[in-house]
A and B are shown apart, each in its own frame.
Chain A
């Protein structure tokens, strides 16, 4: 008798399924795909920031040998795109920011396409431009879009309680203003697309999109192709981080070129183009005012932000949805008011970027918390513990914390970093120019999706074949984070299979069922749960078939190691493939194929932005220890101690990768990265001048996963994708204060800025 023991892959170090082809060079990214007859597309972008277009002359470009198509706004339906529907793919009347697309060319080679662009002549009439949102709000400021003469496309307002009550209860009230800068995604694989129409007018798009299904619906009116004629194929994606959550002008432009030229057209950005013309993280100017009682209880918080929307509206404009969650609900705040004005300027525009406004919000809230603690004379850890949310609470904004590991995160990170001892020791003054500091900061983020549409669901179809191999077709998209592997783990767990027996299809809209898209740290939770439930259905069916065969109740059977086994002693009864073949080759004439659409039990927010928008919430605390040279301004981060409430670890190696990558991305935001925009122009569009963190700058990272075992999450998991990047910049600023006694209100904390601020503050603080 062969006995098979029960095994689990949950929480193990499971190598990514897509890693072998990535290390061998076989993985085919968009950049690597070549279709027969394919042309190369290039876009002519404006060098003006605000100008009326008087004339576009493309005659010389059209006459160039090797050029198959030259298009301008006049050749397209000119339907605006983007979540604000204010961005025509090609600009025909005026340009509003530096990246604006005016014409495009498809040619036999990239060189010919570039030459053709140089032959296009444009006449402009420059218009007065505005780059400061405060100026843009003034009477008589240049109007960017006629539809919004006040330059305000959106405002947001959220409140609970009564600020004046909160003020009365306060023993301390502090106000500060922080200014947060432009950074950009810097995906190692630049943006691109391939578009091809067949003779029946069916469109195939090779796309890097994070939203393959909504992509079809959203792009359809812009290109005038019905959604059912659009087939989206997603080749391997070289990084996304939110940058591919919206549709940007290059996509319909390439599709127009394919239609006009009747050839497949490929468009791939240069790195310079990527830095100039892809979305950024939303820059924010944020005023935070709040108070507390002597005993350390928070009384109120008021936050006003101005969002520089740039020339058009993409997801950056909607980051207030997330900002207000941290403002209202990271800590217990009895009275709260949050207001945002989103303002058009002639600057570049922002999209979604890992953390989605929460880096900005958390920087303000957590540096402000530090300041309040100082003013009250309470230890910053104790102050946070006193106000931290707990399990079972429903926040005034309507978020329900069924599980909440926040306090555990705070105490664990503090204990493992030695925060309690180091903070007072460093604060008491240090000899010499190089000073050490520790800083603490925490975060709240959605951990079970975010219901920003009427559904936040994901579909799965699952097939068990006649050799016991499982194919999982999921609507979710893998952007490198490892969702494919996590999905396979959940399926392996239900069906008792080794991970190698499972393949995941997640990149073809003709095959895979619907999903909202990869955003809001939702994929492990939502797509994972969907796959788990689909696999559970297959398991039930297999056990039922086996129960008839072996005359045992389904509950007396189990699936292990690719076999049907007797549950009580693990005796192998039949190979899974053989069991399925018996279904095919018998009067049963059946297959094992299941489907599932998982909809999380969350709700859309009401008009006041209240509601339980996620099925669960993630918490985390990070402590930073650093050294700052007060003579040079150089900050060296020595150690990050992170504790995250992740529900449950599904793939230990994968989650470590998410946390390490997120922390380093957050350190880049805080200390080195800065997309310099002067008078609307991007001044540093290269990796020489846009400084990403490199390997030698990475600090020691110690991480602890707090397993709160979420009841709704698959196997207890919560989302983790965005969380690790969110609070590190506040922890760094707080550590700098601990080291120097000076507060920092602007990022990034480059040596130049640190030194200037140290001199300006003269060492006597805030």
Chain B
């Protein structure tokens, strides 16, 4: 058995502690050790983006990150977006605008969308398309996903202005 490392980090706003083997990926820790199954494994090679989470404000493929590298950092998963009122505005927009079909890429898309929205306002549609280039979707043809993120960006920007 490999040696376990004790790590502490912030997960969805709450402090957590975990003992993880050095070779364990962040996604396996999230899903198998911490039982947060909202983050999806699509390829395990950083090619599909289904496992996207936000670490210290930056979107990462959690399949390419070691669990031990979460130590001391702030990790947000799809489960962390839920508000006291339920779904957050971007999640609601994905529902209302039909950006979901089978839904397997959806948590990763929403996390990537969140990272894009956090990064800056005033992004063009072309920049949004490029921003989700690393997230594969086989069902929707991406159009409703791009439009949804664009509309959410527009809402965020208008709020900032007002």
Q: Please report A residues at the B interface, Cβ cutoff 8 Å.
A: 13, 15-16, 18-20, 22-29, 31-32, 185-190, 236-241, 270-271, 479-482, 653-654, 656-657, 660-665, 686-688, 692-696, 698, 701
Contacts and interface: CB of A to CB of B under 8 A. Distances in A.
Interface stretch (B3-11, B32-40, B66-74, B153-161): B32-40
B123 to A, nearest CB: 13
Contacts of B55: none
A238 B102 contact: yes
Given A239-B139, A686-B47, 11 more contacts: A15-B95, A26-B38, A187-B138, A481-B101, A656-B144, A661-B141, A686-B45, A687-B47, A692-B136, A693-B142, A695-B145
Contacts of B57: none
Contacts of A664: 141-142
A237 B39 CA distance: 15
B141 A665 contact: yes
B95 A19 contact: yes
A695 B91 contact: no
A49 to B, nearest CB: 25
B41 interface: yes
B26 interface: no
By secondary structure, the A interface counts as loop
Contacts of B96: 15
Given A25-B79, A31-B41, A660 B104 contact: no
Given A661-B139, A664-B141, A23 B104 contact: no
Interface in B114-151: 126, 128-130, 132-146
Contacts of A480: 101-103, 139
B45 to A, nearest CB: 6
Q: Range of interface residues on chain B? A: 35 or more
Interface of B: 31, 36-45, 47-48, 50, 77-79, 81-82, 87, 91-92, 94-98, 100-107, 110, 126, 128-130, 132-146
B142 A698 contact: yes
A16 B104 contact: no
A701 B143 contact: yes
Given A23-B110, A661-B139, A695-B133, A13 B87 contact: no
B42 A188 contact: yes
Contact of B138 (A28, A186, A271, A686): A186
Nearest to B145: A695
Contacts of B43: 271, 686-687
A481 B94 CA distance: 15
A187 B40 CA distance: 13
Contacts of B145: 695
A443 B39 CA distance: 39
A330 to B, nearest CB: 24
Contact of B44 (A22, A26, A29, A271): A271
Nearest to A659: B141
A244 to B, nearest CB: 12
B106 A23 contact: yes
Q: Identify the 5 closest CB pairs spanning chains A and B, nearest first.
A: A25-B38, A480-B102, A22-B103, A238-B104, A664-B141
